Amino acid sequence: MIRILQFGRIGQVGQELLAQAPAHDVVLETVERDDLDLTDAAALERFLDRAAPFDALVNAAAYTAVDRAESESGLAHALNAEAPRLMAKACAARGVPLLHISTDYVFDGTRTGAYRETDRANPQSVYGWTKLAGEEAVLGAHDRNVVLRTAWVFSRGGQNFVRTMLRLAREREVLRVVDDQRGCPTPACDIADALLRVAVRITRGAESGPQGVFHFCGDTACTWADFAEATLEEGARHGITARVERIPTTDYPTPAKRPANSVLDCSRITSVHGIAPAPWRSRLPDHVDALVKSL
């Protein structure tokens, strides 16, 4: 059995990590921000000393309020950049790998095709810049560390785009949804599976270059309007009958700028770890079924 510490247990990916760990022969011990100030270096060191020995640390904690980060840049930086820096430093001192979740929003969206790990990052928002700073800190601390960039996360619980569309569709006949931003919806269950598989390979001494940045997301790109329509197709089975009106980003201004294209190329994680992109469309029906029950 492999013992892994997990920071962040209440988010979408955090919950899925807990659910899936036993199937990977992983003993997962979780820590939340209420239990430990992740920006307090001394407290973090004391905690890790008490928790030792462990084989790896997975950081699923983050500031994810993309628009609010524009006015809360200090808090976003503390959680997305400073906390990972302290984790990475502490893990490096103990010779333990850190696996860290990042985002497609580190890119500016100007590329025509899918973004590769080697493409230049150029965030367009405070959220994106703080996540990039966290990536750099993690990668610079230890050569066994991993950054997993993902996108458009949804799950059977928590707050996400699918839940929002279903809730609004119960209240309105028409949903106006942006149709000029492209990305890849990604089920949190598949992100958790990918993280655990990579963590197991690292801790067991895989020799095929497991460290560095990896992209992992849904297998088919779409726009937010496409994603909304796919969600409502499933919602129709529950009597949810709203329709989608496709609009440009200019008709739905937000404090934070989103990339027009944030499609990720997942070929590296497939070639190195044998992990295929997430089949998001086939996952959608059971996610919608679960979310409808909780509305």
List the catalytic residues: 127
Strands 174-178 and 243-247: parallel
Q: Look at residues 126, 95, 122, 98 and name the one whose alpha carbon lies nearest to residue 109.
A: 122
Strands 2-7 and 26-31: parallel
Separation between Cα atoms, residue 54 and residue 96, nearest integer Å: 8
Q: Look at residues 58, 56, 36 and name the one whose alpha carbon lies nearest to residue 46.
A: 36
The encoded tokens of residue 140 equal: 């610079």
SS3 of 31-79: the string is: ECCCCCCCCCHHHHHHHHHHHCCCCEEEECCCCCCCCHHHCCHHHHHHH
Separation between Cα atoms, residue 86 and residue 45, nearest integer Å: 9
